[in-house]
Amino acid sequence: EDFHTVPFRTSPSSAGCNTAPSPGSADMEVNLLSKTGIDDDAVLSIRAGSVRRQAQINSGRPFRFAKGIMEENPLKIDILKQVGSAYLVMKPGEDRYKVYFGEDVKMDLELELKKTDGEVGPEEEPAKKTEAAAGAKDAKEYLESHKV
């Protein structure tokens, strides 16, 4: 595999600052120091365990995580690139929409919009478990492939 890892800094990130983080603040942060070959419109996504942080690659903002989350290993780093964009204007009484992405790009999708009572339904629980299982599988494969 073509990859490399870089260390991350602990909070606070200001040079020479010796004060402890205030209660409730992020205990650890990941800072992008440089990039090569990545477009400015890309999105950097970092996942530690089940917590994901995302930002425009050139935002200059640190990715803050609680200390316990940062003990998750390995971190999953994704570079996301927009492949399409569209606006959906919702209409009263409509619940199904077909969304087309651009004239040159032959992409579309169909959406259904539903009102909910704000509670998580049982159909959403397996998705969370599946995502957690996928993260655990990714971590296990990483550790096994690197003989850790």
**DSSP labels for the chain?**
--------PBSP-STT--PPPPTTS-SEEE-----SS--TT-EEEEEETTEEEEEETTS---EEE-HHHHTSSSPEEEEE-----------TT--EEEEEE-SSS-EEEEEE-----SSPPGGGHHHHHHHHHHHHHHHHHHHHHTT-
How does residue 95 score in pLDDT terms, banded at 50, 70 and 90? very high
What ranges in the chain are assigned the alpha helix state H?
67-70, 125-145
pLDDT at 5: 46
User: If you average pLDDT over every residue of the chain, what do you get?
Assistant: 73
Backbone angles phi, psi at 79, to 5 degrees: -105, 120
Report whether 85 contacts 66 (CB < 8 A).
no
pLDDT at 137 over 90: no
pLDDT at 103: 75
Could you report the per-residue pLDDT of 40-80, keeping only the tens digit for each? Answer: 889 999 998 888 999 999 999 898 888 777 676 788 999 99
Amino acid at 19: T
Q: Among residues 88, 112, 91, 118, which one has the least CA distance to residue 101? A: 88
pLDDT at 2: 43
